[in-house]
Structure 1
Amino acid sequence: MNTETPINDTRKAELLSKQVEHIDIKSFDARPIVDAMKKMSFTSRDLGRATDIYNQMLSDPDCSVILVIAGSTSAGGCMDLYADLVKHNMVDAIVATGATIVDMDFFEALGHKHYQALEIPDDDTLRSLYIDRIYDTYIDEEKLQETDHTIGDIANSLEARPYSSREFIKEMGKWLQTHGKKDNSLVKLAYEHDVPIFCPAFVDSSAGFGLVKHQVDRMKEGKPYMVLDAIADFRELTNLKIKAGTTGLLMIGGGVPKNFTQDTVVCAEILGHDDVEVHKYAVQITVADVRDGACSSSTLQEAASWGKVSTALEQMVFAEATSVLPLLASDAYHRGHWKTRAKRAFGKMFD
């Protein structure tokens, strides 16, 4: 960090004065409004059907649920929502961006916060104050750099060998049990409940800076260093898919986490498992467009042509996720199918 120009601490404190408060899906019952929306049209009806499909995933005794997260919904107020899905056995594995896991959840687990932007001054002004902006949300860059160094410290404590992202994130959860300052951390709860977290592009996050520093420091010392094995990520998640059998996807956003998770079906076939099931259930909440041929990694209908997803029980919801995901999650929580679900504890299959 460049400290030649002193930071205006008064101005910085003024801008970082209103914390983002994460929504609590247990504090309200969304079932009546979701039931009413099912009788409407457009996005309301899409959300109603998506919620039905998610409830079917939870009520199907054979279905394992994979939560797929891209984008900044954790910073925007859904962090405790995701934690509750783990805590209440409503997801069995997670595939996410590194930013979701490190820059947002792990960041807050260290005691730091995200802030609502009460105003959005010139971004050069924000830079001079070491404030990072996610649309209308602020992060203290100085605290984020502390997070980078913490990731480096964890890497320094480990044996110098290859790790999958799942394996390294497990070490992060273990570290939080002793050093964390937030009980309701997704990383910590996933470790405690044996819910594996995969980040197929892990270094595309604050973790990358800490891990690069770890390697450079070790190189200077002439010592071996740890590395992340992206192929192991794909192999491990594919093995999880093979073991799980019937699977359902709850996808927030798209991109790498979405495509990575869907590709496990194809990878399993390449490994000789011709009987592997396509993902039986799938819900995607996204604002991405289909007209550029992408939709942040294809529509669910398009994915069916690749042999990844069934078209019978899938639903696209074109909406900004923080506006509809709390309704879906609260509805599922209060319908209570999670209360009788068998716990998969997939994390143990890698021990």
Structure 2
Amino acid sequence: MNAPVQSNKKAELLATTVEHVDITSFDARPIIDSMRKMSFSSRDTARAADIFNMALEDETCSPWLILAGSTSAGGCMHVYRDMVQFNMIDAVVATGASIVDMDFFEALGYKHYQAAGPVDDNILRDNYIDRIYDTYIDEEELQDCDNAIYEIANRLEPRGYSSREFIWEMGKWLSEGNAKKPGSLIQTAYEKGVPIFCPAFVDSSAGFGLVKHQKERAKAGKPYMMIDAVADFRELTDIKIAAGTTALFMVGGGVPKNFAQDTVVCAEILGEDAEMHKYAVQITVADVRDGACSSSTLQEAASWGKVSTTYEQMVYAEATTVVPLIGSDAYHRDSWKKREPRQWAKLFGK
């Protein structure tokens, strides 16, 4: 790969960092209480907050965080970390980009940047800057992320690993003094015993590091480690069976959403009794008219036996505008303080 153009232009483009919102620094309860008396997306947001709080108050319930899209890069990274830190979440299912390109990337000490305004994407390419809507990432720094994944893979026994198992190793590596930024989602989940699954793990910066690991090991005639996607499905289904009552707090849709919902069906096929996810919230801007799985409503999921329609709410809103409100509301209502941590990582000897 050719070296990037080094100029003042790159420094100018990467001048303003994204600052992640802190749900503990403000109390959203009055806003949610007011929204409950309104209509449209405001009332939907309030009901979603109510359902999430019901799940936290339900002593039998295990809430899961389902993440797709780029809200972590956009400023919600610490919201998700704090949900785990404050015992609101027992398991995470996410895209590889949310976990690796965003959270792990910042744990290495790097930042995401705000775009000052419209710019020619060819200029961004000349300066090795990647764009996510109005957010920038330094490609050179992202390649360091690839290399860190490569290093972690090289130190593991050559065998199959679920994404949950490999991400646990990433958390362990960070906790050993390799984190430049403390309190990442990965490291916090590792320390709290909260498993993270990325069912499409290699569709991220991790993929490049793992391909490099396999290519070099194969060329040297040595065995290599690999990601076992079937183990992902089996392990999350094991958690669903053990959990009983579950709640899904979903940001976006796609593979993470369907993967988490399908555990109910998988358990049934295995001959296990697993109830539908009792509580479910989905925050999305997707349309349902094309029949896409990622944009299917929670009511539609009920026809598949995945989600109960008693306590479910679709919120059609851009997630960075409502996730901090729901997170802050839940934090300040204190139900998380009474929850028993499930620490599902213990199911796998972690």
Q: Tell me the TM-score normalized by structure 1.
A: 0.98
Kept after mapping to 2: 8 A contact 1:95/1:257: yes
**2:51 aligned to which of 53, 58, 65:** 53
After superposition, give the CA deviation of every residue in 1:136-188 in whole Å (9 maximum; x if it has no partner): 00000000001001100000000000000000000000000120011120000
Residues in 2 aligned to 1:202 and 1:237: alpha-carbon distance in whole angstroms: 15
**Residue 9 (str. 1) matches residue 22 (str. 2):** no
Kept after mapping to 1: 8 A contact 2:217/2:224: yes
Residues in 1 aligned to 2:292 and 2:329: alpha-carbon distance in whole angstroms: 30
Kept after mapping to 1: 8 A contact 2:283/2:315: yes
Kept after mapping to 2: 8 A contact 1:288/1:295: no
Kept after mapping to 2: 8 A contact 1:86/1:189: yes
Residues in 1 aligned to 2:293 and 2:47: alpha-carbon distance in whole angstroms: 20
Residues in 2 aligned to 1:263 and 1:141: alpha-carbon distance in whole angstroms: 35
Kept after mapping to 1: 8 A contact 2:287/2:295: no
**2:330 aligned to which of 329, 332, 345:** 332
**Residue 286 (str. 1) matches residue 270 (str. 2):** no
Q: Between the two proteins, what is the percent identity of the paired residues?
A: 71
State the match for 2:231 in structure 1.
Answer: 232
Unaligned runs of 5+ in 1: none
State the secondary structure of the residue aligned to 1:296.
helix
Structure 1 window deviating more from structure 2 (176-185 vs 99-108): it is 176-185
**1:114 aligned to which of 109, 112, 115:** 112
Unaligned runs of 5+ in 2: none
After superposition, give the CA deviation of every residue in 1:257-293 in whole Å (9 maximum; x if it has no partner): 00000000000000001x3100000000000001111
Matched residue count: 348
Counterpart of 2:216, as a letter, is: D
Structure 1 window deviating more from structure 2 (173-182 vs 293-302): it is 293-302
State the secondary structure of the residue aligned to 1:216.
helix
Counterpart of 1:233, as a letter, is: D
After superposition, give the CA deviation of every residue in 1:62-90 in whole Å (9 maximum; x if it has no partner): 00001000000000000011110011001
Residues in 2 aligned to 1:245 and 1:258: alpha-carbon distance in whole angstroms: 18
**1:296 aligned to which of 281, 290, 294:** 294
Deviation at 1:297, TM superposition (A): 4.4
State the match for 2:319 in structure 1.
Answer: 321
Residues in 2 aligned to 1:347 and 1:23: alpha-carbon distance in whole angstroms: 28
State the match for 2:142 in structure 1.
Answer: 144
Deviation at 1:338, TM superposition (A): 0.2
State the secondary structure of the residue aligned to 2:193.
coil
Deviation at 1:295, TM superposition (A): 6.1
Kept after mapping to 2: 8 A contact 1:173/1:188: yes
Q: Tell me the TM-score normalized by structure 2.
A: 0.98
